[in-house]
Structure 1
């Protein structure tokens, strides 16, 4: 059942439906009964429609991704169609290419099916054409060039408006939009270094926010152990594999 993933075990060991925000007795019978309950099924379908830009208009269902009208009984068939999946994959690739600054609608609390641009602080129509047009606009490119710098440990150079410095790669480059994007999106060394750091700290309770935002900071903070660790792959990996981190992890409570 597709919406079985909404059932989680919280930190207290209790069974909860994240979608309905309620607790369920921890038994297969109770969980299955909840999943086929009309209220849960309706919420699941409502979320699915928001995630796929399907809206109700005068008792008809309109798919904004495919620009087509759908009969209510054909929703799931349409969502599984090659046409719809191709359109949705186009959107996904555009969002990924933009580096996570575009947020697709995910929850039933969203107002309408719109894409949120964090860089420009505005909503964008949920379609490949509208998203492509937006991310290629000069305004968005300027906003994105500013937004990606603290996410990539890139800093202005003192007394210079023409140069930037990448702490991760220890290199200087010119302060031009195209050069910034070339470095953060296409430089294999930068992409690999940043990806490896995030891979290592995932689920390890290690914070690198200060490292990314402060040009003078060279440490990551391990909240689990209560210590600072040099923020590079060698030291992070050594710490994560060490006895102290593993011992404190067995006792740590978030």
Structure 2
């Protein structure tokens, strides 16, 4: 009979066991226990625990983000939907969005750290620590280096500026100015929206165009051809008979 921490099943009486994850009692028979732990509800609760930093400690559930034990009469979903946990998730998601910070290990294991992929650094997981990290100039500099090759931004001989290939525009090379251009410049954002809209579902790529200063072409994986990387040429290609025939 499986009564390990992994499954959340603990002994309750001579005739039944209890699933701490699902807050239900199960007949003390291997077949019944197997059916329960393989059921959709149990698997869903286990997945919710893994994604939300909830662990099983002897006979009680503990939420790491909230630093609290779940009351015995509260289900996992009730706790997750509660104000304290939901507010933590919302605040954390807002902080790490687009920052290349991984929460998985913190939420699903015993570690108290999150990992910043661009800085190659562990950070003790508190909202304050992560906020300080993502706003640091060092982190923002690493973010810029990560974003340059996917935004068509290149160094030039003049160290005070960088060149945006998409906008054919020189930008002050300060980290915050580059980020402002990527995130807020109307022409830059509109170019990406238009091109990505045209290429959606067309099996085309502009990765090399953005990463290589001298590359002039987008590439169609369906047709195995290069296309001048501008909206007009891409639109003509995706609507061409030869391209459309690749999908028939």
TM-score of the superposition, structure 2-length normalised? Answer: 0.72
Is the 1:51–1:104 Cα contact (8 Å) retained in structure 2?
A: no
Is the 1:50–1:112 Cα contact (8 Å) retained in structure 2?
A: no
SS at match of 1:161: coil
SS at match of 1:192: helix
The alpha-carbon distance between structure 1 residues 180 and 69, as it changes in their structure 2 partners (threshold 3 A), is: same
Give the C-alpha shift of residue 136 in structure 1. Answer: 1.2
Q: How far does the alpha carbon of each residue in 1:207-254 deviate from its partner, in whole angstroms, 9 at most, with x for none?
A: 22111110001211110111112222332233223222221023xxxx
Give the C-alpha shift of residue 101 in structure 1. Answer: 2.3
**Counterpart in the other structure of 2:8:** none
**How far apart in 1 are the matches of 2:158 and 2:57?**
54
Please give the residue correspondences for 1:213-252 in structure 2 after superposition, counting only pairs within 5 Å: 213-250=211-248
Query: Which is further off, 127-136 or 185-194?
Result: 127-136
Q: Please, which runs of 5 or more residues in structure 2 have no aligned partner?
A: 1-34
**Counterpart in the other structure of 1:207:** 205
**Counterpart in the other structure of 1:65:** 65
Give the C-alpha shift of residue 124 in structure 1. Answer: 4.0
SS at match of 1:249: coil
Please give the residue correspondences for 1:33-182 in structure 2 after superposition, counting only pairs within 5 Å: 38-39=37-38, 41=40, 42-57=42-57, 59-71=59-71, 73-96=74-97, 99=98, 101-105=100-104, 115-125=114-124, 127-157=126-156, 159-182=157-180
SS at match of 1:228: strand
SS at match of 1:61: strand
The alpha-carbon distance between structure 1 residues 131 and 215, as it changes in their structure 2 partners (threshold 3 A), is: same
Choose 1 or 2 for highest CA Rg. 2
Is the 1:53–1:64 Cα contact (8 Å) retained in structure 2?
A: yes
Give the C-alpha shift of residue 199 in structure 1. Answer: 3.2
SS at match of 2:223: coil
**How far apart in 2 are the matches of 1:83 and 1:76?**
13
SS at match of 1:225: coil
**How far apart in 2 are the matches of 1:37 and 1:223?**
46
The alpha-carbon distance between structure 1 residues 127 and 224, as it changes in their structure 2 partners (threshold 3 A), is: farther
Query: Which is further off, 136-145 or 65-74?
Result: 65-74
TM-score of the superposition, structure 1-length normalised? Answer: 0.71
The alpha-carbon distance between structure 1 residues 64 and 192, as it changes in their structure 2 partners (threshold 3 A), is: farther
Is the 2:103–2:114 Cα contact (8 Å) retained in structure 1?
A: yes
**Counterpart in the other structure of 2:5:** none
CA RMSD for the aligned pairs? 2.8
Give the C-alpha shift of residue 94 in structure 1. Answer: 2.3
Is the 2:48–2:76 Cα contact (8 Å) retained in structure 1?
A: no
The alpha-carbon distance between structure 1 residues 55 and 138, as it changes in their structure 2 partners (threshold 3 A), is: farther
**How far apart in 1 are the matches of 2:230 and 2:198?**
10
